[in-house]
């Protein structure tokens, strides 16, 4: 049966942890607007071509209002405890969203990120010291990928180093749909909320050099700033949006580079390739998670197919990032590829607010690893790497390495 | 080469500044792009084209003179 006659189940499983499912290429060429069934049993429309994904993500008629009564549910269990409540407090679209974004975005400029680099390097150095003490072998995900982004976000929020482990736990409990029970997730969310609420009060009393103090200094809503509740939820959202994504990407990036060790060797010989290598790892990530769902308010057309209002569309950026009509040798990992306008961070008004931070973290990790552990290699055959189950964010269960 | 930026489309992601810091900067108060050089020199053309190509807001336009 050909793809356009059957209804595919989405997400489409892949046999290999770092490779895409074969269906992507076929969908892009023959069925760019495909009907799929989500884990909830609801129907949606899957887009896999670069131009379509890019256009839809930049088009405000495709909203993020997945709570509309006729929008598809992603999974039968609901979409995590956090997402829906957060969406009600942080504006989700239009001018109010742009206003929020500009207030927070101030903290994420490229210059600020460059200033954070030395402290990120120090964090990476210390974590690698600990890896060296207990290995080889060692799980790079647990030793470096998972802790580094939490520590960076804690610094950014002005949270003392002593509380980093609690943040790690809360983040994991909020997003890890398989490891924790619903009761544990709700308890974690309650504790995290309480902590942040006290923390914002502390910052209000005594400002520091952190993003929350800066948001407080912008004044209340009457002065063009945010409410305390919005500030607090913004802080929580930064952890949720920026931890698991970056943590997993560190593991996937290093695995991709070590899967064919000549890539690692090229980087050792020429570290000036680090920046483009990070972009190429983001582009080629075949396991980036669910993709971005959007809900369509008005009828429109995509690649010649009419989509009725009320359609739920799923944009697969990972499939779009391998579109041969846009990227030459799209399946190859080209560490020098430039320009590399991949869609891993989305596009347009909602594209990842933390992308300059994520890029800087990935570059720093790679730089420090190449310098400290040049003999790094995977400790298991690449076929044995396993994907994390669950919907939220794609990643590898562990990344066993030696050196 | 002439460069223009559209502040309304800019989402403040800072990609342009990472790639071509001599040509682009970001405003301190909201992260929106500032164009430092409207007609950058030859040596910067490759970086400017890359910045325009990867800008997530499609906010940078490059036109070739001569
Ligand atoms: C490799 C790591 C990361 C990836 C792949 C990633 C990916 C994404 C994507 C695809 C979106 C778009 C969501 C949409 O359009 O609905 C997004 C949004 C967002 N990301 Fe990231 N992200 C990463 C790291 C980070 C970091 C480190 C932070 C901050 C600490 C962050 C903060 C955000 C925020 C706040 C949004 C919402 C922006 C808005 O709605 O305007 N992300 N991210
Ligand atoms: S890359 Fe584009 S969106 Fe980002 S700051 Fe520069 S102009 Fe704005």
- Ligand 1 contact, A353 CB (< 6 A): yes
Q: Give the tens place of pLDDT for each residue, A202-226.
A: 999 999 999 999 999 999 999 999 9
pLDDT, position A79: 53
Q: Give the tens place of pLDDT for each residue, A164-192.
A: 999 999 988 887 666 788 888 889 989 99
Least confident of A8-22, A139-153, A225-239, A381-395: A381-395
* A102/B contact by beta carbon, under 8 A: yes
Q: State the sign of the Cα–Cα–Cα–Cα dihedral A249, A255, A257, A259.
A: negative
Burial of A397 (0-12, 13-18, 19+ CB in 10 A): middle
Query: What is chain A's mean pLDDT, rounded?
Result: 91
Size of interface A-B (CB pairs under 8 A): 76
* A337/B contact by beta carbon, under 8 A: no
Q: What is the distance in A from the centroid of ligand 2 to the CA of B5?
A: 9
Which of A153, A241, A343, when mutated, tests ligand 1's pocket best, judged by the most ligand atoms within 8 Å of its CB? A241
pLDDT, position A1: 40
pLDDT, position A305: 93
Answer yes or no: is pLDDT of A85 > 80.
no
- CA-based nearest residue to A248, from A126, A125, A395, A389: A395
* Residues ≥6 apart with Cβ < 8 Å to A69: none
Contacts of A359 in chain B (CB under 8 A): 18
Q: Which residue of A has its CA nearest to B26?
A: A109
Q: Give the tens place of pLDDT for each residue, A331-369.
A: 999 999 999 999 999 998 889 999 999 999 999 999 999
pLDDT, position A200: 96
Which amino acids bring their CB within 6 angstroms of ligand 2? B 5, 10-16, 24, 26, 33, 55-57, 59-60
CA angle A36, A41, A43 (to 5 degrees): 35
pLDDT, position A31: 94
Answer yes or no: is pLDDT of A391 > 70.
no
Structural tokens at position A188: 């974690």
- CA-based nearest residue to A66, from A369, A312, A275, A248: A312
pLDDT, position A208: 93
Domains, chain B, in order of start with CATH, read 2-63 (3.30.70.20)
Contact (CB<8Å) A58/B58: yes
Q: What single-letter DSSP state applies at residue A189?
A: H
* Residues ≥6 apart with Cβ < 8 Å to A85: none
How large a percentage of chain A has pLDDT more than 90? 73
Query: How close is the nearest chain B Cα to the Cα of A55, in Å?
Result: 11
The shortest CB-CB distance from B31 to any of A109, A346, A352 is to: A109
Mean pLDDT of A67-92: 72
pLDDT, position B57: 87
Contact (CB<8Å) A102/B31: yes
Write down the residue that tokens 């060692």 correspond to.
Answer: A138
A200, A234 contact by CB (below 8 A): no
Q: Which of B10, B11, B23 to mutate to test the interface with A (most CBs of A within 10 A)?
A: B11
Q: Please report how the helices A355-372 and A228-259 are oriented relative to each other, as an axis angle in degrees rounded to 10.
A: 40
A385, A252 contact by CB (below 8 A): no
The shortest CB-CB distance from A110 to any of B11, B26, B53 is to: B26
* Positions of chain B with pLDDT under 70: 66
B50, B21 contact by CB (below 8 A): no
Q: Whose CA is nearest to atom 4 of ligand 2?
A: B13
- Ligand 1 contact, A246 CB (< 6 A): yes
| ipTM here | 0.81
pLDDT, position A271: 97
Higher local confidence (pLDDT), A72 or A1 = A72
- Ligand 1 contact, A249 CB (< 6 A): yes
Q: Measured in whole angstroms, how far is the alpha carbon of residue A56 from the centre of its chain?
A: 19
B10, B32 contact by CB (below 8 A): yes
Q: What is the distance in A from the centroid of ligand 1 to the CA of A398?
A: 23
Contacts of B33 in chain A (CB under 8 A): none
Contact (CB<8Å) B12/A58: no
Answer yes or no: is pLDDT of A33 > 90.
yes
pLDDT category of residue A81 using cuts at 50, 70 and 90 = very low
* A351/B contact by beta carbon, under 8 A: yes
DSSP E strand boundaries for chain B: 2-5, 24-26, 33-35, 60-63
pLDDT, position A10: 93
pLDDT category of residue A57 using cuts at 50, 70 and 90 = very high
Q: Give the tens place of pLDDT for each residue, A243-301.
A: 999 999 999 999 999 999 999 999 999 999 999 999 999 999 999 988 999 999 999 99
pLDDT category of residue A84 using cuts at 50, 70 and 90 = low
Mean pLDDT of A375-385: 97
pTM reported for the whole predicted model: 0.93
Write down the residue that tokens 């910067």 correspond to.
Answer: B44
* A76/B contact by beta carbon, under 8 A: no
CA angle B10, A316, A252 (to 5 degrees): 90
Give the architecture-level CATH label for domain A8-402: Orthogonal Bundle (1.10)
The CB-side HSE value for A326 (13 A sphere, CA atoms) comes to 22
Phi, psi of A74 (to 5 degrees): -75, -50
Mean pLDDT of A26-46: 94
Q: Domain map of chain A by residue range?
A: 8-402
Q: Give the tens place of pLDDT for each residue, A107-151.
A: 888 888 889 999 999 999 999 999 999 889 999 999 999 999 999
């Amino acid at each position: 049966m050909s793809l356009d006659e059957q209804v595919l189940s989405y997400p489409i499983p892949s046999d290999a942890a770092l490779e895409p499912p074969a269906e992507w290429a076929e969908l892009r060429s023959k069925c760019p607007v495909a009907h799929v069934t989500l884990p909830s049993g609801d129907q949606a429309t899957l887009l896999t071509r670069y131009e379509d994904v890019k256009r839809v993500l930049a088009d405000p008629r495709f909203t993020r209002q997945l709570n509309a009564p006729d929008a598809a549910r992603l999974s039968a269990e609901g979409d995590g405890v956090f997402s829906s409540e957060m969406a009600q407090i942080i504006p989700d679209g239009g001018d109010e969203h742009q206003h929020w974004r500009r207030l927070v975005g101030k903290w994420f400029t490229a210059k600020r990120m460059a200033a954070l680099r030395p402290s990120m390097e120090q964090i990476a150095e210390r974590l690698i010291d600990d890896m060296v003490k207990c290995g080889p072998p060692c799980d790079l995900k647990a030793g470096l990928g998972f802790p580094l982004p939490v520590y960076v976000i804690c610094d950014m929020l002005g949270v003392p180093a002593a509380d980093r482990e609690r943040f790690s736990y809360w983040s994991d409990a909020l997003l890890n749909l398989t490891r924790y029970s619903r009761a544990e997730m709700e308890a974690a969310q309650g504790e995290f909320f309480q902590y942040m609420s006290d923390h914002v009060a502390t910052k209000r009393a005594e400002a520091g050099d952190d993003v929350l103090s800066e948001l407080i200094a912008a004044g209340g809503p009457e002065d063009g700033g945010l409410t305390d509740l919005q500030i607090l939820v913004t802080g929580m959202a930064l952890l949720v949006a920026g931890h698991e994504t970056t943590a997993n990407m560190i593991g996937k990036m290093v695995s991709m580079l070590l899967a064919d060790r000549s890539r690692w060797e090229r980087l050792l010989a020429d570290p000036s390739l680090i920046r483009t290598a990070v972009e190429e790892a983001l582009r080629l990530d075949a396991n980036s998670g669910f993709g971005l769902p959007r809900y369509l308010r008005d009828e429109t057309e995509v690649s010649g197919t009419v989509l009725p209002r009320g359609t739920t569309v799923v944009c697969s950026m990972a499939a779009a990032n391998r579109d041969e009509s846009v990227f030459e040798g799209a399946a190859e990992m080209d560490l020098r590829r430039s320009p590399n306008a991949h869609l891993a961070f989305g596009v347009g008004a909602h594209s990842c607010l933390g992308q300059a931070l994520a890029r800087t973290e990935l570059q720093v990790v790679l730089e420090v690893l190449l310098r400290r552990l040049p003999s790094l290699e995977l400790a298991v055959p690449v076929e044995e790497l396993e994907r994390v189950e669950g919907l939220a964010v794609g990643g590898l269960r562990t990344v066993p390495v030696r050196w | 080469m002439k460069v223009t930026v559209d502040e309304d489309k800019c989402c403040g992601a800072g990609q342009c500044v990472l790639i071509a810091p001599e040509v682009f900067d970001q405003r301190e108060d909201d992260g929106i792009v500032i164009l430092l050089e409207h007609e950058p020199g030859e040596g910067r053309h490759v970086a400017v084209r890359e910045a325009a190509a990867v800008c997530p807001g499609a906010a940078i336009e490059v036109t070739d003179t001569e």
